[in-house]
A and B are shown apart, each in its own frame.
Chain A
Amino acid sequence: MPDDDVELVRELRSGDESALGKLFSAYRPRLLRMVNFRMDKRLKRRLDVDDILQETWMGIAQRLPHFLKQPEAASCYVWMRLVTAQVMMDIYRRHLGTKARDAGRDFSLDQFQNRQATSESIANFFVARNTSPTQAAARTEATEQIRQVVAEMDPTDQEVLALRHFEELSNSEVAQVLEISTTAASTRYIRALKKLQEVMQRHPDLA
């Protein structure tokens, strides 16, 4: 799990803005993963993820001062991820036009609005209605049941699992994203895994 490239971030903080481009390039695959995972499939058909990242880059370049104001410990990736989320939200809004508010219920517009996880912030993946027939068809019986178990968990737990596994964030990054302490993030994660294990034990075919 790649944490920030310490050297580059130090260069960036000391005023070398060229480091920003390097950091973005380094994080690109992770951001791409996040975009792919979070993006509503209906929008996916219309939008190219590369375009989203392109726009993200513009946002990052513009909002660099915001990052520089943050404490040293703040993760550069988490910040870039947040900008990406905002860009995605803008795009949602744009594509939904004035109907954004109505459609928001379907599209989980608020998904990124509150960094504290809410019921809206569940990764689309866990929500069955967002699964395409192909996905459903490709999924095996066992993983389908795991998905269902996860889908019934507390939203924050779902989010923790999503961040740790689907976005492959480290615990400290998860903590920053959700704005909770690392201990709390860790506790939630372990607890969610235990819950999952519990269900899995009741269905031996899942293990």
Chain B
Amino acid sequence: MNKPLPQPDDASPTVDELAEEFLKRRRSGEVPDIEVYATQYPDMAEDIREVFPALMAMESLKRDWEKAAHNAETNSSVPVERLGDYRLLHEIGRGGMGIVYEAVQESLDRHVALKLLPQHAVTDATYVRRLQREARTAAALHHSNIVPVFGVGQEQGYHYIVMQLIPGAPLDRVIRLLREPGGESLAHSISSQPDTAIAEGALGMLIESAQATPITEPAGSVLSGLVSAPGNSLRTTSWQNKEAASEHVETSALQTPTSSDRPASAPDSPGYWRLVARLGSQIASALEHAHGRGTLHRDIKPGNILLDLQGAVWVTDFGLAHATDGSNATQTGSLAGTLSYMAPEQFDGKSDERSDVYSLGLTLYELATLRPAIPSGTRAETVARATEASPPRPRSINPNIPADLQTIILKAISQDPAHRYQSAAALAEDLCNFEEDRPIKARRVSAFERFRRWCRRNPWLAMSTSGCVLLLVLATLAAVLGYAHESQQRQKMQSMLTILVDSLEHVYDRFIPEQISAPSLLISSEDETQPSVLSGKAALSPEAAAMLEELLPAFDKLAQQFNDDDSLKANAAQANRRVADIHVQLGNYDRAIAAYREAIRRYTALPDAKQWLVQIAVAHNEIGNTLLQQGNKTGSTAAHRDAIELLLTDVPVVEGRSDTSKLLHEQRFELARSWFLLGKRGRRDQLGPPVPNSGPPEGEFSDRRGPQRLPPGRLSGPGRPGRMPAGGPEGRPHMGMGRADEHERHRWLQLAIDELNQLIQQQDLPEYSYLLAMCLRDRSHTLDSADSEAAIAVLLELTEAHPTIARYRYELSRTYAAVRITGLSGTTQESAMKRLRQSIEHMNILMKQHPDITAYAISAAHTNHLMSMLLMESVHAASEFERELLASEATIHAATALSLQRQAMRSSSTGPTEAFWLMRFAEVGSEAFMMDHKPILAASVLQEAERQLVERRSGDLAGDDAEQYDRAIRALRRRMQEKRPGPPR
């Protein structure tokens, strides 16, 4: 303050310069005096006196900001020293409703917990109402496991609620402690988070008491439970390490016995599971009490349950509870619970006692497995997760969890409230039963029951409920079939079996997503811009694949059964075909072909074989498709020719039948389909002329031209039998098909088109138009030809007329996406972009309609991938300004492609082909990010892809698959080497 001011320069300084000077000194810790400045520069004194105080005010505003920013990390500020009778000490926790402080109620000289509404929220009437409601509802509850509420208050513009101070820690912190891998991180969290210290203190006390009391005492069992929790983090050694690491921890609480005193950690000892059950039954009985008074908690979660030093739990935060007798202030519109713990029906705005049971079930799940049942994500994700998926079974996470405990938990978290415990009391009772080793009341849900519930949750299956019920009957029947065969009831059994076959067909149709459910039209995905989505499990949701696996033996058994029985031979053939279809879906091609052959044999042996002509042809064609999947082009062609020959030579004899024309139509349609299958494009011989490579090839996967020249087949190598069609040397267009072949191909397609046109004139069935569109698409020479446009027009019409038939929209989207992306000029580039945009739009609709079908996600990933490459391509010709926009849009599409692909790979058991594409997307994504000047992201997309592949690779894989993963991983690593940036710090 007494420091001499800097002498004025020649030119006298401006007020601003003085202000700058003043600030500099202030910021360096001095306390300059405004008056000194005013005296020094008398001619500016007025300005100085006017401006400097404001300047100091701004600085104090800045300091507040700095303090707040700091506090946001340390969480320990007290906004006001005192509120009425209460003196605030420090923060002990926070939640959606406000921050909780420990405070002293001076008149009574007692410590209380004071929950404070954020000041800025005080103007928000809902918050205030909620706070008051919390007080009223909670004050009406008196239970040894509910935190008592003393009252509410309003002081200096703050609203607060006063509760009994429970010396303990919320369960979420306890769980986190138990989960932490070791003492080091434990020590870290303790020293950095004051409230964790409480959790730690509670546990420390428990450990101490364990020394004093025999293990059978309550506290002892709590301890032994906690110490031997699955996470195993609380072993003696870790506590001792931590003790050494953080001196502020009271040593008295940590006077732990040496490890030799302690039974060498008994992880997963029954103690812990009993503890979980006991805490659960306490919470349930608290809920029972509240429910009995018409109050729902509505936000049960680990963070709202306190574990005290005696090992008892306290339910707190009845803030969201509302009286069940009518006042439903928070109900409409706004979801008022913590999303990850909310019962599915709460998302629909419905809740009752059983919703609390559900949330408690999830809490117990987390206590048992030490991981959240439903990981928190974005809001939309959580809603989707909670309403669609069931969490993994606890014992799949930790096999040591007792089966009964799992049964209780799973019953509590049933999706359908009717399957849960119907009251908190019932849950409490069963938990007590478990704790005391009595038999529990909940029954384990059988595999069939799980299946049935799953059916109910899946709308596309809803209609087949009756079929599902029949499936149950069938399962029983299949078991007794051998016996039945001998029995006198054989006659009856047979007619029942016929019905069962029909029901099974029904179930099958419902199970297979509809675009692949019609094997009569199964059109392999053979165009190069798309992965082979129709082959293998990639096309199925995991549930559908699992159900097919379960259906298979049933069909198989049926087929065998009927084979021995003349009167039911047609059914046997039918069942064989279905078995084959299922094998195709599951990727068991050899077995599929064998089953198709068996079906053909059976059909042909039938006395009225001619009636089954179309079925036989279909089976031939399916053999052709399957052989193509295996890469056997010659065999495939032969099979389709077999079908054609059959259809052309044999005219069905259908005397006296009224459906003659129908049969004829079917036959002609199958003929058209056979021609189409013969003439359709092979995977490799697509698209127009090759485009000059923009750079020298750098390695086996460095070709940047895109997927059309990097077919997945490259991974399996030429000629290798496997999921890829065989091919010749890489990268050669029109491979395996010379001009003559190409000519032939067109001839087949023309035959199909002619046939279809005639059919359509007689009867305009959507399937006819659909196949026509496929023919047109495959005939189109270059992808922007008139044929391609016509195919789009037909598909567009179909999609508009049948917006819910996914197959139409899917093919429409794929046809849009079949564009060339390299070597285009301005206008063609623009139209290609437009088509890709359309494609993405339709794919998005599909994904929204069928979030569980991986094939759509994969397809959308490819389209986005193409889009990003096209955008990158267009960068070269763009102006500088556009360039940045294009590059950044390219990164968006590349990132979308990557994320869809990664999701798809996570959600279903995709093969190494998808691994290859993931690698490819990562490469292109990384290039896009480089182009957008984001080298770090460029490197990180490669890294992330690599990480996922390595993770996938570590699972059990067959030799070939593993090798292919390795190659993709190697390619990525090479890229990463190239990209690694080396910035200084």
Query: Which A residues form the contact surface with B (CB < 8 A)?
Result: 1, 21, 24-25, 36-37, 51, 54-55, 57-59, 61-62, 90, 93-94, 97-98, 125, 128, 131-140, 142-143, 146-147, 150, 161, 164-166, 168, 170-171, 186, 189-190, 193-194, 196-197, 200, 206-207
Consensus secondary structure, chain B interface: helix
Interfacial chain B residues near A138, Cβ < 8 Å: 64, 67-68, 71, 77, 79
Interfacial chain A residues near B59, Cβ < 8 Å: 165
Partner pick for B936 among A54, A93, A164, A197, CB 8 A cutoff: A54
Q: For the complex, is B14 an interface residue (Cβ under 8 Å from A)? A: yes
A180 to chain B, nearest CB (A): 14
Minimum CB distance partner of A189 in chain B: B16
A59 to B937 CA separation, bound complex (whole angstroms):
12
Minimum CB distance partner of A135 in chain B: B68
Interfacial chain B residues near A146, Cβ < 8 Å: 57-58, 60-61
- B50 close to A194 (CB less than 8 A): yes
Minimum CB distance partner of A147 in chain B: B61
- B61 close to A58 (CB less than 8 A): no
- B99 close to A62 (CB less than 8 A): no
Besides A134-B68, A134-B72, A138-B71, 17 other CB < 8 A contacts? A37-B65, A54-B985, A58-B981, A94-B934, A94-B937, A137-B79, A137-B118, A138-B64, A138-B67, A138-B79, A146-B58, A161-B58, A165-B62, A189-B16, A189-B19, A190-B16, A197-B53
Q: For the complex, is B108 an interface residue (Cβ under 8 Å from A)? A: no
- Interface flags for B45-74 (1: CB within 8 Å of A; 0: not) read 001001101110111111011011101100
Residue pairs across A and B with Cβ atoms less than 8 A apart, 22 shown, are A24-B984, A37-B65, A55-B936, A57-B984, A94-B934, A97-B895, A134-B72, A137-B116, A138-B79, A139-B64, A139-B68, A139-B119, A142-B60, A143-B57, A146-B60, A165-B61, A186-B14, A189-B16, A190-B47, A193-B50, A193-B55, A194-B50
- B71 close to A133 (CB less than 8 A): no
B61 to chain A, nearest CB (A): 5
Interfacial chain B residues near A134, Cβ < 8 Å: 68, 71-72, 75, 77, 99, 118
Minimum CB distance partner of B69 in chain A: A36
A134 to B933 CA separation, bound complex (whole angstroms):
36
Partner pick for B57 among A125, A133, A196, CB 8 A cutoff: A196
- B934 close to A55 (CB less than 8 A): yes
Interfacial chain A residues near B221, Cβ < 8 Å: none
Interfacial chain B residues near A36, Cβ < 8 Å: 69
Interfacial chain B residues near A25, Cβ < 8 Å: 984-985
- Interface flags for B508-530 (1: CB within 8 Å of A; 0: not) read 00000000000000000000000
- A197 close to B888 (CB less than 8 A): no
- A137-B116, A146-B57 given; A171·B20 CB < 8 A: yes
- A137 close to B77 (CB less than 8 A): yes
Interfacial chain B residues near A21, Cβ < 8 Å: 984
- B57 close to A140 (CB less than 8 A): no
Consensus secondary structure, chain A interface: helix
- A143 close to B60 (CB less than 8 A): yes
Interfacial chain B residues near A54, Cβ < 8 Å: 936, 983, 985
Q: For the complex, is B15 an interface residue (Cβ under 8 Å from A)? A: yes
Across the A-B interface, the 10 shortest Cβ-Cβ residue pairs: A133-B118, A135-B68, A136-B120, A196-B54, A186-B16, A137-B79, A197-B54, A193-B54, A165-B58, A138-B68
Query: Which B residues form the contact surface with A (CB < 8 A)?
Result: 14-17, 19-20, 23-24, 27, 47, 50-51, 53-55, 57-62, 64-65, 67-69, 71-72, 75, 77, 79, 98-99, 116, 118-121, 888, 891-892, 895-896, 932-937, 981, 983-985
- A132-B68, A139-B68 given; A207·B99 CB < 8 A: no
B120 to chain A, nearest CB (A): 4
Interfacial chain B residues near A59, Cβ < 8 Å: 933
A133 to B934 CA separation, bound complex (whole angstroms):
34
A27 to chain B, nearest CB (A): 13
- A166 close to B62 (CB less than 8 A): yes
- B15 close to A190 (CB less than 8 A): yes
A183 to chain B, nearest CB (A): 9
A159 to B984 CA separation, bound complex (whole angstroms):
32
Interfacial chain B residues near A128, Cβ < 8 Å: 120
- A93-B888, A134-B71 given; A194·B54 CB < 8 A: yes
A131 to B60 CA separation, bound complex (whole angstroms):
17
A125 to B58 CA separation, bound complex (whole angstroms):
12
- A97 close to B892 (CB less than 8 A): yes
- B55 close to A168 (CB less than 8 A): no
- A62 close to B933 (CB less than 8 A): yes
- B892 close to A1 (CB less than 8 A): no
Interfacial chain B residues near A55, Cβ < 8 Å: 934, 936-937
- A197 close to B99 (CB less than 8 A): no
Interfacial chain B residues near A136, Cβ < 8 Å: 118-121
Most chain A CB within a 10 A radius of its CB, from B51, B65, B118, B892? B65
Interfacial chain A residues near B934, Cβ < 8 Å: 55, 58, 90, 94
- B983 close to A57 (CB less than 8 A): yes
- B936 close to A170 (CB less than 8 A): no
B870 to chain A, nearest CB (A): 16
Interfacial chain A residues near B119, Cβ < 8 Å: 136-137, 139
Interfacial chain A residues near B79, Cβ < 8 Å: 137-138
A135 to B68 CA separation, bound complex (whole angstroms):
5
A166 to B118 CA separation, bound complex (whole angstroms):
24
- B65 close to A196 (CB less than 8 A): no
Interfacial chain A residues near B77, Cβ < 8 Å: 134, 137-138
B888 to chain A, nearest CB (A): 7
- A200 close to B53 (CB less than 8 A): yes
Minimum CB distance partner of A165 in chain B: B58
- B20 close to A166 (CB less than 8 A): no
